[in-house]
Amino acid sequence: MIESAAEPISESLIRQYDVSGPRYTSYPTADRFVEAFTSQDYIQALEQRRSGAAAMVLPLSLYIHIPFCESLCYYCACNKIITKHHDRSAAYLKYLGREVDLHIQHMGVGQVVSQLHLGGGSPTFMSDSELRELMVMLRRNFTLTPGGEYSIEIDPRTIDASRLDALAELGFNRLSFGVQDFDPVVQKAVHRVQPAEQVFTLVEAARQRGFESINVDLIYGLPEQTIESVNRTLAQINQLKPDRIALYAYAHLPERFKPQRRISSVEIPTAASKISMLANSMAALIAAGYVYIGMDHFALPNDSLAVAKRQGRLHRNFQGYSTQPDCDMIGLGVSSIGRVGATYSQNAKTLEDYYDYLDQGLFPVVRGLALTRDDLVRRAVIMALMCQGRLSFESIELAYLINFRQYFVKEMEIMQSQVEQGLVEIEESGIKVTDKGWFFVRAVAMVFDRYLQSDRTRAKFSKIL
Alpha helices in 209-251 (DSSP H): 227-240
The pLDDT of residue 459 is 47
- Residue 200's pLDDT band, with cuts at 50, 70 and 90, is very high
Of the candidates 227, 95, 78, which has an alpha carbon nearest to the alpha carbon of residue 155?
Answer: 78
Phi, psi of 219 (to 5 degrees): -130, 135
User: Which tens digit of pLDDT belongs to each residue from 219-235?
Assistant: 999 999 999 999 999 99
The pLDDT of residue 456 is 57
User: Which tens digit of pLDDT belongs to each residue from 263-279?
Assistant: 988 899 988 888 889 88
Asked if the model's pLDDT at residue 325 lies above 80, the reply is: no
Ordered structural domains, the chain, with CATH:
1-22+372-455 (1.10.10.920), 23-329 (3.80.30.20)
Neighbouring residues of 347: CB distance < 8 A, sequence distance ≥ 6: 331, 333, 334, 335, 336, 337, 354, 364, 365, 366
- The single-letter code of the amino acid at 407 is Y
The pLDDT of residue 1 is 45
List the single range of 11-20, 168-177, 323-332 with lowest mean pLDDT. 11-20
User: How far apart are alpha carbons 51 and 316 in whole angstroms?
Assistant: 25
The pLDDT of residue 5 is 42
- Residue 4's pLDDT band, with cuts at 50, 70 and 90, is very low
Of the candidates 168, 155, 246, which has an alpha carbon nearest to the alpha carbon of residue 208?
Answer: 168
List the single range of 247-256, 285-294, 371-380, 410-419 with lowest mean pLDDT. 247-256
Burial of 12 (0-12, 13-18, 19+ CB in 10 A): exposed
DSSP 458: -
User: How far apart are alpha carbons 17 and 442 in whole angstroms?
Assistant: 10
Q: What is the pTM of this model?
A: 0.90
User: Which tens digit of pLDDT belongs to each residue from 118-158?
Assistant: 999 999 999 999 999 999 999 999 999 998 999 999 999 99
Alpha helices in 258-401 (DSSP H): 271-287, 304-310, 351-359, 373-387, 393-400
Mean pLDDT, the chain, rounded, equals 91
**Region 69-76: what's the mean pLDDT?**
92
List the single range of 1-15, 122-136, 179-193, 264-278 with lowest mean pLDDT. 1-15
The pLDDT of residue 27 is 94
- Report the chain's terminal Cα–Cα distance, integer Å: 14
The pLDDT of residue 8 is 64
Phi, psi of 291 (to 5 degrees): -90, 130
User: How far apart are alpha carbons 106 and 67 in whole angstroms?
Assistant: 26
Does residue 364 contact residue 98 with C-beta atoms inside 8 Å? Answer: no
**Region 7-18: what's the mean pLDDT?**
75
Burial of 432 (0-12, 13-18, 19+ CB in 10 A): middle
Does residue 72 contact residue 82 with C-beta atoms inside 8 Å? Answer: yes
Asked if the model's pLDDT at residue 22 lies above 90, the reply is: no
The pLDDT of residue 460 is 61
